[in-house]
Amino acid sequence: MAKVGVIGAGSWGTALTVLLHGNGHEVTVWSISKDEVDMLNEQHEHKDKLPGVKIPEDICITTDLEKAVKEKDLLVLAVPSPYTRSTARSMAPYVAEGQLIVNVAKGIEESTLMILTDIIEQEIPACRAAVLSGPSHAEEVGRGLPTTVVAGAHDRKTAEFIQNIFMNQVFRVYTSPDMLGIELGGALKNVIALAAGIADGLGYGDNTKAALITRGITEMSRIGVAMGGRQETFNGLSGIGDLIVTCASVHSRNRKAGYLMGQGKSMQEAMDEVKMVVEGVYSAKAAMALARKYDVEIPIIEQVNMVLFENKPAKEAVMDLMLRDKKIENPLLPWN
């Protein structure tokens, strides 16, 4: 049995709390919101964000960050990506030398273009940072539906420790050394999912969705490989796997926000209706900045940015993608 602190009590933090408790670990959950903590302690269910998933009564849920962090074998950082830096900074005084922090959020910091594990290591130099990511909607993990993810760490021993903590008969965990690729896959797929949602909102079909997923993974890979990530990672769970589930699922907040924009709502109206952090909106500008920095072409992500931030009509954005100059699908394939 391990002692685990889960930092963040939203849908994903709650689902992982239930999973870890079911694996026999002692779990302490932290939220910055006293109202949220009181609600979870009284109702033992996050009725707003994860209805129907019961939280065992012996789980400690608190607003005391020190209590959630100190003397834990593992910390799971599950706050939305825009709050990763501020939360890590608040945690820093309580983190012991070498304490393991597993990031489970997905995003890129717009102001610095840093991935989240790099932010954690910058704010908490004493820690060991790792990442857990993949096609894993909280709604399904909380219900115990079969799910597969990947744990990334600087060394194999740490990745295997995470694997052993999380893995069970319905939650399979692979390991990988490519933390950069895993983080970028998790962040960039949210931008493509916005595009897939927009297409759905416009009433387009499965052909359109397949095109966006296929060409979307190409754009994700271009950025990731240029930055030093591995192509194999983008072909795996945290790349194409996470992209498929986020573009297709009714649980996806990014797809839902895109769908609402495809129906004519503004970005802010869509975010307000989703009522949760839409990570793709925050990652879209960062993706464009990375593409410029590494000189890679990302037409889908570029059009998403125009819809989000320049009020470009969604239908016009799709047409501009379709009417681009003629291309070879894969320039690396030789002609006979």
Exposed, middle or buried, 23 (CB in 10 Å: 0-12/13-18/19+)? middle
Long-range Cβ pairs for the range 32-39 (8 Å, 24+): 32/63, 32/87, 33/9, 33/63, 34/63, 36/9, 37/9, 37/61, 37/62, 37/63
Q: Which residues contact 192 (CB under 8 A, 6 or more apart)?
A: 212, 213, 216, 217, 219, 220, 243, 246, 247, 300, 301, 304
72 noted as active-site residue: no
Exposed, middle or buried, 190 (CB in 10 Å: 0-12/13-18/19+)? buried
Beta bridge partners of 252: none
Of 49, 106, 189, 256, catalytic: 189
Tokens read off for 98: 């070498």
Which SS3 state, helix, strand or coil, does residue 203 take? coil
Q: What is the distance of C-alpha 182 from the center of its chain?
A: 10
Neighbour-count burial for 273-298, b at 16+ CB within 10 Å, e otherwise: ebeebbbbbbbbbbbbebbeeeebeb
> Considering Cα of 226, then 230, then 235, then 236, what sign does the dihedral take?
negative
Q: Please report which residue ranges of the chain form alpha helices under DSSP H.
A: 11-22, 34-43, 65-69, 84-91, 116-123, 138-142, 156-166, 179-201, 206-227, 231-234, 242-248, 253-262, 267-274, 279-294, 299-309, 314-322
The residues annotated with a catalytic role in the active site are 189
